[in-house]
Amino acid sequence: MEGKNSTLSISNLHSKRIALLVQYDGTDFCGWQRQKIGISVQGVLEDAIASLDRDNQSKVVAAGRTDAGVHASGQVVHFDYSGFIPGERWTFALNGRLPDSIRIRDSVVRPSSWHACHSATYRKYRYTIYNARRQNLFLSKWCLHKYQFRLDEKLMNLAVQGLMGCHDFTAFQKLGSGRKNAITTIQYVHVFREGDIVTIEIQATGFLYGMVRLLVGQLIAIGEHKLTIEKFEERWQEKLRHEIKDSAPAKGLCLIEAGYQEQIFSDHNLLDGFPSFILKDSNSPPDP
């Protein structure tokens, strides 16, 4: 018994917390979190870690739980490890065991008190809309194609400015959420156009289940002049969840960054690895 306790003490003494910067194409995954049915990013990543350390039973914890079909270019995760692989070597060790749809961009050792989710001060998402008549094969996995109307991105941007700050966003929360309340703080939100690409970026302390996609659905209706800003504001301020029915497709959404009080990874430029597409207005749809 003494030998067993001694072994456990040595193992705990050498335990290290490893932080990973992760990218993934969410197209074929059931989401970040392990599910009873379907292949999850968490499951594939944990299996790859286990192949390098069979004694490691620790779960991988993420800064944000992305839904099925949602991508990530700046997901941050952590796990605990008691072996001899240096922190910086996990990038190369895991990439050799992961499918092409998941890439590790960087890996570092963090203090045991640091937590990928609880230590995060914000998460930032980008939703991309391809607003042109004709489809583009090389954008189809990453963008929502809206071609009936030329979206009014200026009106969309005006509509989101009232979301800034701490509010109850019950209207943008899908059923099935385990949160005690729907209060969160939006720190930054902006809608802009570059050629045929309309981009919606939103940064908050945390996000509700389905929040960004429900919000984007409302903004598209505003951009098509089918919904007024006044009605939009009434819906979310009065928590009229039953009036918000359209959720934008998952494929246009990407988690591009999780932020912390200190810089976690060596190269800050690695954080936003999702490209900002810029296409000329060569085949834009007509004004509505």
Residue 10 is predicted with a pLDDT of 41
pLDDT over 90, % of the chain: 75
23 burial (CB, 10 Å; 0-12 / 13-18 / 19+) is: buried
- Report residue 284's pLDDT band, with 50, 70 and 90 as the boundaries: low
- On whether both 221 and 264 belong to a single domain, the answer is yes
pLDDT band (50, 70, 90) for residue 217:
very high
Residues assigned a catalytic role = 67
CATH number at residue 214: 3.30.70.660
Reply yes or no on whether the pLDDT at 2 is more than 50: no
Whether 248 and 65 have beta carbons less than 8 Å apart is answered as: no
Q: Are residues 257 and 141 in the same domain?
A: yes
Expressed in percent and rounded to 5, the helix, strand and coil fractions of the chain are 30, 25, 45
Q: Are residues 94 and 126 in the same domain?
A: no
Residue-wise pLDDT for 7-34, tens only, equals: 444 444 478 999 999 999 999 999 999 9
**Do 53 and 44 meet the contact criterion of CB atoms below 8 Å apart?**
no
The answer to whether 123 touches 258, Cβ cutoff 8 Å, is yes
Identify whether 4 is part of a domain: no
Q: Are residues 150 and 212 in the same domain?
A: yes
What pLDDT, in 10s, does the model give residues 91-102?
A: 999 999 999 999
- Assigned domain for 198 exists: yes
Q: Does residue 146 belong to any structural domain of this protein?
A: yes
Among 110, 140, 165, the domain boundary falls at 110
- The CB-based long-range contact list for 184-193 (8 Å cut-off, 24+ gap) reads 184/208, 187/122, 188/124, 188/164, 189/160, 189/161, 189/163, 189/164, 190/157, 190/160, 191/153, 191/156, 191/157, 191/160, 191/219, 192/153, 192/157, 193/131, 193/151, 193/153
Q: How many domains does the chain have?
A: 2
Q: State pLDDT tens for residues 123-164.
A: 999 999 999 999 899 899 999 999 999 999 999 999 999 999
Do both 163 and 236 map to the same domain? yes
pLDDT reading at 285 higher than 70: no
Domain that holds residue 218: 122-270
With residue 190 as reference, give the H or E element that holds it: strand 183-194
Task: Look at residue 278 and tell me if it is in a domain.
Answer: no
Return mean pLDDT, the chain: 89
Say yes or no: 48 and 166 in one domain.
no
* Range with the poorest average pLDDT among 44-58, 158-172, 232-246: 44-58
In a domain, 6, yes or no: no
Same domain, 127 and 258: yes
- Does residue 160 form part of some domain? yes
pTM for the whole structure = 0.89
Q: 68 and 199: one domain? A: no
Q: What is the CATH number of the domain that holds 23?
A: 3.30.70.580
Same domain, 159 and 102: no
Under 8 Å CB-to-CB from 274, ≥6 apart: which residues?
Answer: 71, 73, 74, 126, 142, 254, 256
- Is 178 in the same domain as 65? no
Residue 160 makes CB contacts below 8 A (sequence gap 6+) with: 189, 190, 191, 200, 202, 215, 219
